[in-house]
Structure 1
């Protein structure tokens, strides 16, 4: 049993508390530290999901009032990452953290198969760090700064910085948020104001998940909630079938492509199985809380609204029984008058001129409609045969000009994709016609590989930083290029490019 524990600060990670305890005791050996705190030697692999917490609490001083549940809810990332999981799954994760039953907790949470990766290093706000030292005499690692996708401090609205402290590692060291791993320098913000606004709103909602301790909802409930909301917004039919093309178009209009890349949620609109298209579907795959929050933000729905909802509908069978609301003789009189005023008009023309009237007569008085409404045979004009070879040449020329425009555009590079080419041209679906064989082949060939695009962005960022006489580091390039701070794969790529250009 230990004799004391440092005062635990608000929103502090348990990892940070243990690191400060180690420093106060002047301990060097991590094995001795773990034995001291847990009563035996255990292996910790995650700063976000500590395990064997019952053993830790039972080893605290007798006067301690700290509970295992308090630690899990207030000093780990459990509330955030389990917000969109079922009660059963959340309870399973809780049990692993309490007892440490041998299962890899992060794999149960769903980190392994997720396309949204957690940041490799613990992060901090340089202003929070400075203020902590002035007010507390020390600083600490906050949970809110570790939210996946958060690139700003919600309080000071400056960019978060990576420390050299790994967030996940077998048998990691315990390091304090001190001058050895943190500094007070604020990074210049390269992002447009729209990205900052979007991210701050995202962080606001994510922090509510951290502090809200909301009741759990199973995935089916959440999906049905999304369908109901989309139906109210006109993005789903009355039965609950999604208008997916329109939904995708509005989503891509709401979120800049650069921001979706930062949030590890890029969407290829030409891919029928991109993450957005399968997000609101009935399957048992885990969805990252990051993407749930992106979707809720797009829908303009507060997280409270979802978790406080008690009933949802989702998809449903629509059985409609129509009851006429107008006098039938009055409707007939108006329809006859419309016919007389538009002699020679076709049925489709009459329908256009008397939209609501036509719909009512056609639905409730069909037999009479057929008797009195004339059929006018309109001789179809012969349309000119399209010269597809010529059209193909014209479209190919437009596509090539669009690629040049995209590649030569000032500012941050934009990835060359078929969708971006069509957007630049202002083309509609006709541009996808399979008869435009050379154009379609060109679109496939010119689509920029994601790794090549990243290298191009990295080189652009390096050149821009050189113009500003900035001391170039991999981290500065990563932020300036718009990748966010937690992408280890991108960091390695940047380091490689920097070494090649030295």
Structure 2
């Protein structure tokens, strides 16, 4: 049994509490620590979602008043990752943390199979660390800093820094949050634009609500219906709730900077029929990352509290028709024939206008007969002037070349040269990418960048910027400055190759 329990700080991870306890006791052996905590050999497998909390509570000092719910709700990110799950699944996850599940809780909350991955290392706010050491005599790991998508400290509004401490080890080492957990001398602060900072701080305010205030749960079907209702209000859905998905994806992609969506692991390929936003607003039972819920709500101009305070939704409206004919079919047919005879030379569209209701009824109940008796007379229309595709091709080719030149001379993080970005830079609509524009398309295909070429260009830009500002550029600094995040091994390999080639010049 534990002889004492360190004071639990606000927003402190349970992992951090145990790390401080280990240091206070002067323990070196991990096995001895686990036996002291659980009174038996129990493996602590997850930094964020510990299990067997009932055994841990039972081993707390006799005078401890801390209960299992306090540990889960205040010292793990449980409330954030279960916020958009059903009450039943939330209880299952809670029970797994209390009594032990045998399998990872990460799988239950949907992290294991999600494209939105947890950070590989625990994060710290340098300002918090200094402040905590001065006021408390020691630092501690804050759970709000470990939330996926957290780029800043909400309190100090400064960028978070990756520590040297891994967050997803199979067997956890308990390391305290001290100044030596990250390289203060060689770790440059990540530089984000003012727009990214504003977006992320707004995101973090919603995260704080989920962690510290919200205890409500809504079923996924309710949440999807809520989104449809709000999208209908914004003009992205019809009255019946059918989504104008193409327009939604385009406007969403314009609302968030591409760099920010990359940082939030939520980039959108507008051309793809299976991009995450298209799938996100469909009513299926697949888990969705809470990060992406908050991105959609932020796009809609809503606080997450509004969703959980909402009581009723409409969603999609299914229209059922139980129309019953007033007359027999033969009587309706006679009326239609009479209408045709009285309007010789009328087109089908004109007959439909004159016989509103009657036309619809006949067409629905005996279409074969309708086709046999109704004349096909085509009204002459003024022909549109034919498009001179050769001339348009030449004009678009000039626009495309000018747009590419503008992209390449852009003073900031490089923009990938692909058809969609060329069109945006040209300031024109989708007709710009018409397949009949042969010369334009040939040019676009010649200059378009594959993903590795774009990465190399962005890497060279980042190296140049870092050298200009700081006189040095390490692979890690380049990776963060270019916006790749710190855990992409494939990109790190390319960065090292580029740095090596630059040294040889």
TM-score, with length taken from structure 2: 0.83
Tell me the residue number matched to 1:349.
none
> 2-side partners of 1:302 and 1:8: how far apart?
30
Say which SS state the counterpart of residue 111 (structure 1) adopts: coil
Change (3 A) 1:35 1:452: farther
Please say which of residues 487-496 and 109-118 is displaced more in the overlay.
487-496
Say which SS state the counterpart of residue 470 (structure 2) adopts: coil
Establish whether residue 272 from structure 1 lines up as the match of residue 301 from structure 2: no
Establish whether residue 127 from structure 1 lines up as the match of residue 127 from structure 2: yes
Tell me the residue number matched to 2:375.
none
Say which SS state the counterpart of residue 407 (structure 2) adopts: helix
Please say which of residues 94-103 and 216-225 is displaced more in the overlay.
94-103
CA contact (8 A) 1:413 1:457 kept: yes
Aligned CA RMSD, in angstroms, stands at: 2.7
Change (3 A) 1:52 1:154: same
> 2-side partners of 1:490 and 1:24: how far apart?
40
Establish whether residue 12 from structure 1 lines up as the match of residue 35 from structure 2: no
Q: CA deviation at 1:237?
A: 1.1
Instruction: Note the residue ranges of structure 1 that are not aligned, 5 or more in a row.
Output: 321-358, 367-376
Q: Deviations over 1:446-484 (max 9, x none)?
A: 543334323322221111111123442333223322334
Tell me the residue number matched to 2:56.
56
> 2-side partners of 1:305 and 1:362: how far apart?
48
Instruction: Note the residue ranges of structure 2 that are not aligned, 5 or more in a row.
Output: 322-352, 360-377
CA contact (8 A) 2:75 2:143 kept: yes
Change (3 A) 1:163 1:134: same
Q: CA deviation at 1:396?
A: 4.2
Say which SS state the counterpart of residue 164 (structure 1) adopts: strand
Tell me the residue number matched to 2:23.
23
Q: CA deviation at 1:385?
A: 3.6
> 1-side partners of 2:253 and 2:435: how far apart?
25
> 2-side partners of 1:148 and 1:33: how far apart?
29
5 Å-filtered alignment, 1:66-215, equals 66-182=66-182, 187-188=188-189, 190-215=191-216
CA contact (8 A) 1:126 1:182 kept: no
CA contact (8 A) 1:388 1:436 kept: yes
Establish whether residue 419 from structure 1 lines up as the match of residue 430 from structure 2: no
Say which SS state the counterpart of residue 61 (structure 2) adopts: coil
Establish whether residue 36 from structure 1 lines up as the match of residue 29 from structure 2: no
Establish whether residue 283 from structure 1 lines up as the match of residue 284 from structure 2: yes
Say which SS state the counterpart of residue 163 (structure 1) adopts: strand
Say which SS state the counterpart of residue 457 (structure 2) adopts: helix
Change (3 A) 1:129 1:204: same
CA contact (8 A) 2:153 2:160 kept: yes
Tell me the residue number matched to 1:340.
none
> 2-side partners of 1:7 and 1:380: how far apart?
83
Tell me the residue number matched to 1:245.
246
Q: Deviations over 1:416-439 (max 9, x none)?
A: 222111111122222233333454
> 1-side partners of 2:494 and 2:42: how far apart?
35
Q: CA deviation at 1:440?
A: 4.2
Change (3 A) 1:22 1:298: same
> 2-side partners of 1:230 and 1:447: how far apart?
34
Tell me the residue number matched to 1:465.
466
Change (3 A) 1:146 1:130: same
Say which SS state the counterpart of residue 180 (structure 1) adopts: helix
> 2-side partners of 1:288 and 1:383: how far apart?
50
> 1-side partners of 2:442 and 2:96: how far apart?
52
CA contact (8 A) 1:124 1:141 kept: yes
> 2-side partners of 1:153 and 1:290: how far apart?
16
Change (3 A) 1:492 1:209: farther
Say which SS state the counterpart of residue 468 (structure 1) adopts: helix
Q: CA deviation at 1:176?
A: 0.2
Tell me the residue number matched to 1:327.
none
CA contact (8 A) 2:228 2:241 kept: yes
CA contact (8 A) 1:121 1:165 kept: yes
Say which SS state the counterpart of residue 103 (structure 2) adopts: coil
Tell me the residue number matched to 2:339.
none
> 2-side partners of 1:216 and 1:231: how far apart?
23
Say which SS state the counterpart of residue 395 (structure 1) adopts: helix
Please say which of residues 247-256 and 25-34 is displaced more in the overlay.
247-256
CA contact (8 A) 1:82 1:109 kept: yes
Q: CA deviation at 1:363?
A: 9.3
5 Å-filtered alignment, 1:191-340, equals 191-317=192-318
> 2-side partners of 1:496 and 1:75: how far apart?
42
Change (3 A) 1:233 1:249: same
